[in-house]
Structure 1
Amino acid sequence: MDKKELWLNIANYHFDNLVPTQLWDEIAVKFGGQNPFTKAFATKLSRKLNWGKHFALKAIYEYKKFVYLGVISDFSVTPSKVVDQVWHEHLLFSSGYRKFCKEIIQYDFDHNPELVSVGSQTEAFQSQYFQTIELYKKEFGFEPPPEIWDVTKFKGKIENVKKPMKKHNDSVYSDNYVGTDSLITMFSSAEISDVKFGGGEFGGGGGSGSWDVSGSDSSDGNSGDSSESGSSCSSSCGGGGD
């Protein structure tokens, strides 16, 4: 599997394996249109984290990009606070998350929270975060949206950006992803503007934020508090959240 195939697998993943098959028809009727399972997951995020539905969909799509970066990088990547919150919620569906790792990305994308805050480790995570942003810009060809990526779990500024930690030798990292060609060079101009690459709506593969579910938050922005600072996490991808 090369970079382009990996990204299309992730972009077209609709979180259907989070829902028991006997509930598929009910979810499809309740949320309607394209990607009802992604919309269901966005609604869970919206209610739990006090996010608007549009913001939740956008956060999910940025999480997909983070997962892509975590697989193709040769160093441990670190998410923003918002992306980390989406990751946490995905992990709660343990069976579905295992299937996602095995079948969609074919990679063990682990998340290991930091037990005790250690200054040197926090500095390493800070450096990894900035390196992750740089890799994002290289692969996708544009700046990450600040409302999703600008808030971190770290206090203060980085004086010196250190070299990020390499992945463990026993990781499932594939040489297929090593190279100078960025993802953006593998798509035509038409494809780059398509949702499957990063334009248009935010659900991935044609997702839409225009659904309405009784009792769900109908606002378009992020009404939750994403400014909290706290401990970090460490994994094959690096850390950034509780």
Structure 2
Amino acid sequence: MSAFETDLWWRLADYEIGPADAAFTFAQRLARENRWSADYAARVLTEYKRFCWLACEAGHEVTPSDAVDQAWHLHLTFSRDYWERFCPEVLRMPLHHGPTAGGTVERTRYYDQYAQTLASYEAHFGEPAPEDIWPDARRRFLVDPKAVRVNPADAFIVPRGKAYGFAAAIGLALTALALGVLL
């Protein structure tokens, strides 16, 4: 049976996080806090629901992608909604968030668990997880952990490709200036 044919999926699909009368929705807050487009945040929210389904039904421990984990972290801040409505009424079980204890053994455990989560995702949802939200295990655990959160009010953020272009332009300008001074 497909995940989409289960009662749990229907409860998840119908579920809206947070108060119904909120002027600023959960998806809008998720987009703002992560500097995502509204469309991407909505897609992450769908993937968060799929992750929650897997956490209840996969039959093994599951690990979220970083984007899905951001949705989970934000949902946990809506503590009354999460513990008094979501877990008992939608999931019908508690879903605790446990961080890693760190170290090589834990990294290996979460790496393997994440790879198993991706395999279960495909098996239960009938398609691979979207790579822009669920990168492969190597990226999730070896590349992405090097990321840091930066407040754009405190720093200039220049995408790598543009930074190379700026550096090349500055280098050419300095070379031209130096040649002009020498001649």
TM-score normalized by structure 1? 0.54
When Rg is computed on C-alpha atoms for both structures, the one with the higher figure is 2
Report the 3-state secondary structure (helix = DSSP H, G, I; strand = E; otherwise coil) of the residue aligned with 1:149: coil
1:228 Cα deviation from its structure 2 partner: 4.0
Instruction: State, as a whole percentage, how many aligned pairs show the same letter.
Output: 32
| Superposition CA RMSD, Å | 1.9
Which of 139, 142, 149 in structure 2 is aligned with 1:155? 142
Cα separation, 1, equivalents of 2:146 and 2:87: 29
Aligned residues of 1:42 and 1:56 also touching (Cα < 8 A): yes
Which 5+ residue runs of structure 1 have no aligned equivalent? 31-38, 157-226, 231-242
1:153 Cα deviation from its structure 2 partner: 4.1
Q: For residues 10-25 of structure 1, what are the structure 2 equivalents within 5 Å?
A: 10-15=12-17, 18-19=18-19, 24=21
Report the 3-state secondary structure (helix = DSSP H, G, I; strand = E; otherwise coil) of the residue aligned with 2:43: helix
2:140 pairs with 1:138 = no
Which of 33, 40, 60 in structure 1 is aligned with 2:25? 40
Give the structure with the larger helix fraction: 2
1:98-153 superposed Cα distances (whole Å, 9 cap, x missing partner): 12000111011100223x41210110110000000000000010111111000654
Aligned residues of 1:83 and 1:148 also touching (Cα < 8 A): yes
Cα separation, 1, equivalents of 2:60 and 2:82: 22
Which of 33, 56, 61 in structure 2 is aligned with 1:71? 56
Which of 7, 10, 19 in structure 1 is aligned with 2:9? 7
2:113 pairs with 1:128 = yes
Aligned residues of 1:154 and 1:229 also touching (Cα < 8 A): no
Aligned partner of 2:14: which letter? Answer: N
Give the length in aligned residue pairs. 140
Aligned residues of 1:78 and 1:129 also touching (Cα < 8 A): yes
2:95 pairs with 1:102 = no
1:71-105 superposed Cα distances (whole Å, 9 cap, x missing partner): 00221101111111110000111110012000111
Which 5+ residue runs of structure 2 have no aligned equivalent? 148-183
Cα separation, 1, equivalents of 2:8 and 2:129: 20
Q: Stretches of 4+ moved more than 6 A in 1?
A: none
Q: For residues 1-242 of structure 1, what are the structure 2 equivalents within 5 Å?
A: 4-15=6-17, 18-19=18-19, 24=21, 27=22, 40-98=25-83, 99-114=85-100, 116-150=101-135, 153-155=140-142, 227-229=144-146
Report the 3-state secondary structure (helix = DSSP H, G, I; strand = E; otherwise coil) of the residue aligned with 1:112: coil
Report the 3-state secondary structure (helix = DSSP H, G, I; strand = E; otherwise coil) of the residue aligned with 1:113: coil
Aligned residues of 1:81 and 1:153 also touching (Cα < 8 A): yes
**Greater RCO structure (CA 8 Å; 6+ sep):** 1
Report the 3-state secondary structure (helix = DSSP H, G, I; strand = E; otherwise coil) of the residue aligned with 2:105: helix
TM-score normalized by structure 2? 0.71
